[in-house]
Homo-oligomer: A and B are copies of this chain.
Amino acid sequence: MRLITLAPKLTAALLLSLSIISAAIADEAELESWSNDATSKRALLTFVSQVTDERSPQYVPPEARIAVFDNDGTLWAEQPVYFQLLFAIDQARMMLKEQPALASESPYREIASGDLKAIAAGGQETLLKLMMQTHTGMTQTAFADAVRDWIATAKHPTTGRRYTEMVYQPMLELLDYLRANDFDVWIVSGGGVDFMRVWAEDVYGIPPENIVGSRLGLKYVNGELLREAKIEHINDKSGKPVGISQQIGHKPIMAVGNSDGDFAMLEWVTGQPGPSLGVLVHHTDADDEWAYDRDSHIGQLVRGLDEAAERGWILVNMKKDWRTVFASN
């Protein structure tokens, strides 16, 4: 008698497994720049199949299908330094041309000397001054115009590519695949929110309201929003769950990052009852991009590498798992 009552459940379970597997096979065409042999691709397809299948115990209704992506090193490259810092340097150079007398003071002195190392040698204080000088004291509109001009013309110091040509093709495909499965896709980055909002919709299809980042104080004066020299929120490390809670207001079910700056976000997202997925991109491709992890000055990945397996997070090996790195634009 027991067998008879169990049989329909068993059959249902088998049918469900088959349907998930066949859905995963059918989806292989979706992530075409991902190697079909890669465990990471298989895990992504399985997760999406499970949370979108109404018969699955892992089913998640569309309104709760929120996926958050780090930006620097996850959606686009981040070497030799964060691209937003290269924007700041270019802005300071322009200001220096207009007012050469500035060269006597930091951070313009370091900019005038012409190499990135001088800025790095100036330490945190020089970097902060550089960011404040180039990111504050103007209206939101003027800042957006400056970013728009730069992103349309500036080129990366070693690849010679436009920065928007240094976005990862496999990630563009993953964003599309998630959206096609009714995920709401967000950027949750340590970068400045107003820097990303200028170009992220064109490049990733992610609208301004779906971007969480570090932010300055703003002041409304005479119908304009002025950017104040005051950091209000640093959206990195434990600041990421905070930024998500403030802006999205509910917990995502999927988080994708590439460094220990994303650890808290992945920990928070995957530390919930019900289905969730944590993904870390591991920069292993010195030929097509850069290879770095534990000792990197940028995008350092130590704890993520040590704990990914026990936490069930997917490690994406860029060299092995991706057939293409950069989008051809």
B246 near A63: Cβ-Cβ < 8 Å: no
Interface: A81 (CB within 8 A): no
State the Cβ distance, A53 to closest chain B Cβ, in Å.
23
Could you say which residues of chain B place their CB within 8 Å of the CB of A248? 208-209
A238 near B223: Cβ-Cβ < 8 Å: no
B220 near A241: Cβ-Cβ < 8 Å: yes
Among A3-11, A211-219, A289-297, the one that faces the other chain is A211-219
Residue from B209, B219, B242, B249 within 8 A of A208 (CB atoms): B249
A218-232 to B contact mask, C-beta < 8 Å, 1/0: 111101010000001
Could you say which residues of chain B place their CB within 8 Å of the CB of A211? 249
A218 near B247: Cβ-Cβ < 8 Å: no
* Residue among A184, A193, A225 having the largest count of chain B Cβ atoms under 10 Å: A225
Task: For chain A, residues 187 to 221, give those with C-beta under 8 angstroms from any C-beta of chain B.
Answer: 193-194, 197, 207-209, 211, 215, 218-221
Residue from B208, B246, B250 within 8 A of A215 (CB atoms): B246
A249 near B197: Cβ-Cβ < 8 Å: yes
State the Cβ distance, A310 to closest chain B Cβ, in Å.
15
**Chain B residue, CB-CB nearest to A218:** B242
B193 near A219: Cβ-Cβ < 8 Å: no
State the Cβ distance, A269 to closest chain B Cβ, in Å.
10
Residue from B220, B225, B245, B247 within 8 A of A247 (CB atoms): B247
B219 near A238: Cβ-Cβ < 8 Å: yes
Interface: A267 (CB within 8 A): yes
Known: A220-B264, A238-B219, A238-B220. A225 touches B245 (CB 8 A): yes
Interface: A80 (CB within 8 A): no
Which bracket fits the contact residues of A?
A: 20 to 34
Could you say which residues of chain B place their CB within 8 Å of the CB of A249? 193-194, 197, 207-209, 211
Q: Please measure, in the bound complex, the distance between the C-alpha atom of A207 and the C-alpha atom of B215, giving whole angstroms.
A: 23
A271 near B223: Cβ-Cβ < 8 Å: yes
A209 near B250: Cβ-Cβ < 8 Å: yes
A63 near B247: Cβ-Cβ < 8 Å: no
* Residue among A209, A220, A225, A264 having the largest count of chain B Cβ atoms under 10 Å: A220
Task: For chain A, residues 41 to 62, give those with C-beta under 8 angstroms from any C-beta of chain B.
Answer: none
Q: List 15 A-B contacts (CB under 8 A).
A: A193-B246, A193-B249, A197-B249, A208-B250, A209-B248, A209-B249, A211-B249, A218-B242, A218-B245, A218-B246, A219-B242, A220-B238, A220-B239, A223-B267, A225-B242
* Contacts A209-B250, A232-B232, A247-B247 supplied; 14 other A-B pairs, CB < 8 Å: A193-B249, A208-B249, A209-B247, A209-B248, A215-B246, A218-B245, A218-B246, A219-B238, A220-B238, A220-B241, A220-B242, A220-B268, A223-B268, A223-B271
Shortest beta-carbon contacts, A-B, top 4 = A208-B249, A220-B238, A220-B241, A218-B242
